[in-house]
Chains A and B, each alone.
Chain A
Amino acid sequence: MNIAWNSFTPLSALFGGLLIGLAAALFVLLNGRIAGISGVLGGLLRPKPGDIGWRAAFVLGLVVAPLVYGLFAAVPLPQIAADIPSLVIAGLMVGVGTRYGSGCTSGHGVCGISRLSPRSLVATGVFMSAGFITVFVLRHLFAI
């Protein structure tokens, strides 16, 4: 294994992770819910009375985060290499997959592992492995 020391950012990764954990902890302690983003977002498509406000607010918080960050420092812009057809296919797969599998990186990965949920440990192992294999196939077998 060949570690990319020039792109590895251990301190900002750890600090950002602490913030994510803080958000998940506050959300369960105050709102009594799992901060699982696919579930929060997907639930908006199955609206129940009294259920829309908190979901929309959580999503809005995520979307405005760059604006708030921008008040203090320059927002690092993302590099999105995927072309439009790939983004559409990837988006569809992530949308269907996270709902069938009841969670994504936040719900299973962060919250589920924090709760030591066996389902989430398995789900995280599966989606991480699928991600590793997909990138291996694309980058090293097809050299995309």
Chain B
Amino acid sequence: MNILFSGLAGLIFGLGLIVSGMADPAKVLGFLDLAGAWDPSLALVMAGAIAVGSIGFIIASKRKHSWLGLVMQLPSARHIDRRLLLGGALFGIGWGLAGFCPGPALVALGMGELKALIFVAAMLVGMGLFEVLERRRS
């Protein structure tokens, strides 16, 4: 049951990315280009998502189990460390380079875009590299 709803959440998320135009790197880069012809659309996507998302998280934060009876797994980390800052910076540079973040890249992959496939393959290699480095560290 949780697998079915997980797929449904992914689908609704993906539809939201298509409707909002965020599956298109040109539109995302239009937002990141503050000094050019600036397209504020991404800010409204975030505003809409946070407006609905925050209601969900307010309800969720008062519960120990989900509606399906699963344990609530909300992050508890609060420290702001070098990993968060450097990881965020590295991600932001890559995001600005191609206009893709993980969700839109997966949606564009479903549109049959070869360039999205190349990006997703490189992203998976990057994620795999992280796993290898983490395992070596521990």
Q: Which chain A residues have a beta carbon within 8 Å of chain B's beta carbons? A: 1-4, 7-10, 12-35, 37-38, 41-42, 45-46, 53-55, 57-69, 75-82, 84, 86-102, 104-106, 108-111, 113-119, 122-124, 126-136, 138-140
Contacts and interface: CB of A to CB of B under 8 A. Distances in A.
Nearest to B126: A95
18 contacts: A12-B20, A12-B21, A16-B21, A18-B52, A19-B13, A21-B16, A23-B13, A57-B4, A76-B21, A78-B104, A79-B25, A101-B90, A104-B102, A105-B95, A115-B54, A119-B75, A131-B93, A139-B33
Contact of A82 (B8, B17, B25): B25
Interface in B2-60: 2-27, 29-30, 32-42, 44-57, 59-60
Given A18-B52, A62-B107, A98 B14 contact: no
Given A1-B34, A106-B103, A96 B21 contact: no
| Nearest 9 pairs of A and B residues by beta carbon | A95-B126, A16-B20, A61-B10, A17-B48, A25-B56, A101-B87, A130-B92, A65-B14, A91-B122
Main secondary structure, interface of A, reads helix
A42 B127 contact: yes
B70 A32 contact: yes
Interface of B: 2-27, 29-30, 32-42, 44-57, 59-61, 65-68, 70-75, 77-80, 83-111, 113, 115-116, 118-131
A120 B75 CA distance: 11
Residue from the set A27, A122, A140 with the largest chain B CB neighbour count within 10 Å = A27
B56 A114 contact: yes
A126 B22 CA distance: 20
